[in-house]
Structure 1
Amino acid sequence: MTFFRNLSLFRFPESVSKSLNTLDKELESKRLRECGPMELATRGFVSPFGRDSEDLVHQIGAFSLVSIGSEERLLPSVVVNEELADKLSKITEKEGRRIGGKERKRLKEEVISELLPRAFIRPSRLSAYLDSERGWFVVDSASRKSAEDAVTEVREALGRFPATPMAPEESPRNLMTDWLVGGKLPEGLVLGEEVELRDPAEAGAIVRCRRQDLESDEVREHLKSGKQVFQLGLVFEDRMSFVLGEDLVVRKLRFLDVVLDQMGEDTAESARAELDASFALMTLELRTLFERLEQWFGLPRPGERD
């Protein structure tokens, strides 16, 4: 298993935790099936251990790792349009008549039906995990749509999964701007080398800095002009670095040497043992980070009413 690189975070109430005891059985009904000859795409759960395993959940304590797979037929619009143009040209030459919009639409559907069974299939996989004790659902993606699709897949499998995006009590944009302006960060945090500053006005200026001293005069001048922090590079307790967005999505997550050294240099006896070690290490490290995010931004676990 490779460590997650991006984190989209959701919270779910304590009442959901009980239903996670049978998560493996619940996901069985949503196992990924092959994309049929007339289907554009299918989506479902696959084994975190890879093709050689049937297990749909990898669990260590309160943490449950799941993988959502998809198969998508690649049918570029340029290919469809080219085939349609050829079909329209032949009809015009043979019958010498003008083809209306309704017939053109029908012919396009025929072209798609003819091409679909021959289209290549592109597989993909998205990893996520659930922390039943603390109520976190963590998706390895910075894409809002992909993360929400993952929530939907779990919800359809369980029948009920009221996981909600972050609803911070403290504005991340204002708080991170204060960190950068004042230079006083919460204990355990230091500035990284990346920032995105924006003028909050509509269509305002955007400044992106990478490999930059964030305490430099150049950055401070942008802050003095009223720009605010939308993304900020941070290092947490010398154990991980990441870029935190005002949407509280964690991007470019990287564990540092002090964490990676805990994995040891010996090769794992099996893929399953390697997954055990890396998943346990990652989830425990991230649980500590999430606890601090709760404190900094005010991220209470939702109750049943939520």
Structure 2
Amino acid sequence: MFPRNLTAFRFGAPPRAHVREILEALANYRVREPGPMEFAASGFVSPYGRTDDRLGICHENVLGFVYQVRARDLKASALNEEIAKRVEKIAQDEGRNVGGRERKAIREDVLNELLPRAMVTVSNTTGWIDLDNGWVVVDTRTRRRAEDVLSELRSALGSFPAVRLSPEESPRLLMTHWLNTLELPQGITLGDEAELRDPATAAGALVRVRRQDLDTDEIREHLRCGKQCFAVGLTVDDRMSLVLSEDLSMRSVRATDVVLDQAITEHESVDAEIDSRFALAVLEVRALFDRLSTLFRIPRPEVV
């Protein structure tokens, strides 16, 4: 359950005092199959496998979960092709054009016929809630999916005042400073990837580099011309490598060999191995967030 991507939210007062109370709330939000006329259904499944009833994995006061979306795979191209066939048939058989209202009715008829027969695809998103430290962590690089997960948690828990990160130190300016001066905090080193943009306009000049030394005159020339760093590859404390974006989401997250060597051990069962890997992921990501919270001054909402 070690994440490949990280999108985080913060909260003050925990939604429940203990993980078992959250598990009880999630029990009413198990995933189900979408109905014949539904495009998708979502909910939670077990981290331990398809046949397991447990909806969470626990380490201390941290609850890991798996959010699942079951969606009918009805491609727009197939839908539009069938509509076009029917419109063409009416034009040929009756010698008239099909108006907008009739075309809309045809679309509804086609949708009603094709949707129940469409295959159901499954996608999983893992994450966890750290009750003691006020973090919701979602393994996705897509803000929309992270918000979907948070919305499902809010539905299950009644309310959940988790919010986006609000750093007091601008990540973009600080990352630009790191690239420009090579003055990085102790324990943090540059990777080989960066995204530089002209911040003046949304469609401004964009430069992406990968597998390239970032300590070069070429990079500094881009910065001298006004571009800023919107994402940069970093290695933190020789334990985690990642690409950090200006919104503090992270992609290409990898544990280094220092961490992976700790995970190489024999376990009594598959469940024990899952528990062990989850505990390791929680500890490493928590340490990572502690560093980022200090660097970018990310406050935790006040506990009222």
Query: Shared topology, TM-score over 0.5?
Result: yes
The 8 Å contact of residues 19 and 61 in structure 2, kept in 1 or not, is answered as: no
Displacement of 1:304: 4.5
Alignment of 1:226 onto 2:226:
yes
- Partner amino acid, structure 2, of 1:9: A
Secondary structure of 2:268's counterpart equals coil
Displacement of 1:265: 4.5
**Residues of 1 paired with 2:80 and 2:180: CA distance?**
54
Displacement of 1:88: 2.2
**Residues of 2 paired with 1:219 and 1:37: CA distance?**
54
**Residues of 1 paired with 2:264 and 2:121: CA distance?**
35
**Residues of 2 paired with 1:97 and 1:292: CA distance?**
69
- Partner amino acid, structure 2, of 1:120: M
Q: Which residue in 2 is equivalent to 1:239?
A: 239
Q: Which residue in 2 is equivalent to 1:140?
A: 139
**Residues of 2 paired with 1:32 and 1:62: CA distance?**
24
Q: Which residue in 2 is equivalent to 1:283?
A: 282
Cα deviation 1:30-79 (Å, max 9, x = unaligned): 11011122111101111111102011111110211011111111111121
**Residues of 2 paired with 1:212 and 1:85: CA distance?**
49
Q: Which residue in 2 is equivalent to 1:115?
A: 114
Cα deviation 1:218-250 (Å, max 9, x = unaligned): 111112222111101111111110010111001
Displacement of 1:90: 2.9
Most deviating of 25-34 and 96-105: 96-105
RMSD of aligned Cα (Å): 1.4
The 8 Å contact of residues 17 and 133 in structure 1, kept in 2 or not, is answered as: no
Secondary structure of 2:52's counterpart equals coil
**Residues of 1 paired with 2:31 and 2:246: CA distance?**
34
Secondary structure of 1:18's counterpart equals coil
Q: Which runs of 5+ in 1 are unaligned?
A: none
Q: Which residue in 2 is equivalent to 1:6?
A: 5
The correspondence of residues 58-77 of structure 1 with structure 2, limited to 5 A, is: 58-77=57-76
The correspondence of residues 157-196 of structure 1 with structure 2, limited to 5 A, is: 157-196=156-195
**Residues of 1 paired with 2:115 and 2:205: CA distance?**
45
Displacement of 1:105: 0.3
The 8 Å contact of residues 41 and 73 in structure 1, kept in 2 or not, is answered as: yes
Secondary structure of 1:194's counterpart equals strand
Displacement of 1:124: 0.9
**Residues of 2 paired with 1:25 and 1:94: CA distance?**
60
- Partner amino acid, structure 2, of 1:49: Y
Distance 1:189 1:88, change over 3 A: same
The 8 Å contact of residues 17 and 135 in structure 1, kept in 2 or not, is answered as: no
**Residues of 2 paired with 1:285 and 1:93: CA distance?**
66
Most deviating of 210-219 and 244-253: 210-219
Most deviating of 206-215 and 83-92: 83-92
**Residues of 1 paired with 2:49 and 2:112: CA distance?**
32
Between the aligned residues of both structures, percent identity stands at 49
Displacement of 1:17: 4.4
Cα deviation 1:98-157 (Å, max 9, x = unaligned): 322111101110101001111111111111101111000000001000000010000000
**Residues of 2 paired with 1:80 and 1:222: CA distance?**
46
Alignment of 1:125 onto 2:124:
yes
Distance 1:277 1:81, change over 3 A: same
Displacement of 1:19: 6.3
**Residues of 2 paired with 1:83 and 1:68: CA distance?**
33
The 8 Å contact of residues 72 and 122 in structure 1, kept in 2 or not, is answered as: yes
Displacement of 1:20: 4.3
The 8 Å contact of residues 230 and 245 in structure 1, kept in 2 or not, is answered as: yes
Cα deviation 1:234-273 (Å, max 9, x = unaligned): 111111100101110011100010100001243x332211
TM-score by structure 1 length? 0.95
Secondary structure of 1:214's counterpart equals coil
**Residues of 2 paired with 1:224 and 1:81: CA distance?**
50
Alignment of 1:207 onto 2:207:
yes
The 8 Å contact of residues 16 and 22 in structure 2, kept in 1 or not, is answered as: no
- Partner amino acid, structure 2, of 1:210: R
- Partner amino acid, structure 1, of 2:102: E
